[in-house]
Amino acid sequence: METNDFMPGIAIPPGETLQEALDEQEMTQKELALRLGCTPKHVNSIIKGTASITPDLAIKLETVLGIPTQFWLNLEQIYQESVARIKAIPEIEEEVSLLEHIPYTEISKLGWVPVTTNTIERIKNLRTFFKVASLDCLPFVQTVAFRKASKYSSEEYSLAAWINKAENDAKDIDANLYSNKKLTESLPLLRRLTNRPLKASFVELRNICASFGVKVVVLPHISKTHVNGATKWLPDNRALVMLSLRGAYEDIFWFTFFHEIGHVLQNKKTTVFIDMEEDEINDLEIEADNFSLNTLIPQHSYNEFLASGKYKDKIAIRKFCEDQGIHTGILVGRLMKDKLISFGDPSYQDFRRKIT
């Protein structure tokens, strides 16, 4: 339902209520001025709304008219807030053009912002979501989302929304201070989670990571983000790993997860890593890729399996994964990535598990 409650069309000064009180008590403005100990001009200015009701004056009005001090102060506060909101309308109208870059309908269906079709309400809700006074502040608040663009488009704003949601969700996760030692010791346990459906293992995954100081947030993919995962350090010596359910298969998720854990181990606390499709490849990204691949399947074991020539043998695939303690999708996904098995080969799809 549309509503314009956020922006009142008119601000009613408390002076109107004051005049009504005078009329009821058959008192003139001049008489009130004498009883208050101020000038008739000042009383008239309050009636017109050009002068404010101060706390001192509100106390005097209570004494003279018998109407509580808080009543007058509340009227004044509501009036001043209404005046400020009316003055803000032109500023909000300037932000309307930014709405076309933000997938409001999509993120409202996900519950990130309230559902509404009212333009003013959408801007208000987005300001609250991003915790900014104006949407114009976004490039300065979510700098990493706008890091590569000189002229911002829907891609940057969508990415800013995705990262912002992850950061908001991370505040609800209790995590210990970061420990490199505990992270390293937990890798075998994390690796074994690949055997269980992600839906059943995610809570354990999040708790294990929180135990060594990494907050893990998983979010749906939203259009135009093209993001697989991201990693940043929080100010309190904890890391945040953000993961997108962009891939249809769990092996893609697990590769991305360990890739981001690889970034955590790089300990680049001033760097935010955003891993996107067709993004630039540098030494740190290659290092994170290799860490993920080798954590899931040690390189020497993988090489030996390929050398056996049985990498297309389904029985051999199952035996190898059983020995390694991983799900078959991890191996088949890697074989597909290395183009040893075709992505389109339906005979191997049962070896991979779709995200549900």
Mean pLDDT of 275-287: 81
Task: Point out the domain boundary residue: 67, 92, 117.
Answer: 92
* 68, part of any domain: yes
Give the C-alpha separation, 161 to 28, whole Å.
57
Give the C-alpha separation, 325 to 323, whole Å.
6
Task: Point out the domain boundary residue: 33, 59, 92.
Answer: 92
User: What is the DSSP code string of 186-220?
Assistant: HHHHHHHGGGS-HHHHHHHHHHHHHHTTEEEEEE-
Residues 148 and 279 in one domain: no
Report the domain count for the chain.
3
Predicted pLDDT of residue 83: 84
Mean pLDDT of 81-94: 76
Say if residue 1's pLDDT is above 60. no
* 5, part of any domain: no
Residues 231 and 298 in one domain: yes
Say if residue 279's pLDDT is above 90. no
Give the C-alpha separation, 123 to 6, whole Å.
10
The percentage of residues in the chain with a pLDDT greater than 70, rounded to a whole number, is 94
Say if residue 33's pLDDT is above 80. yes
Residues 52 and 179 in one domain: no
Predicted pLDDT of residue 322: 96
We report the CATH number of the domain holding residue 48 as: 1.10.260.40
Give the C-alpha separation, 231 to 214, whole Å.
10
* 311, part of any domain: yes
Q: Where in the sequence is the domain holding 44, given as residue range(s)?
A: 14-92
pLDDT in tens, 164-179: 999 999 999 999 999 9
| Selection from 242, 270, 263 nearest residue 166 by Cα | 242
Strand order in the sheet with 227-234: 214-219, 238-244, 227-234, 273-276
Residues 58 and 77 in one domain: yes
Please name the amino acid found at residue 250.
E
Say if residue 149's pLDDT is above 60. no
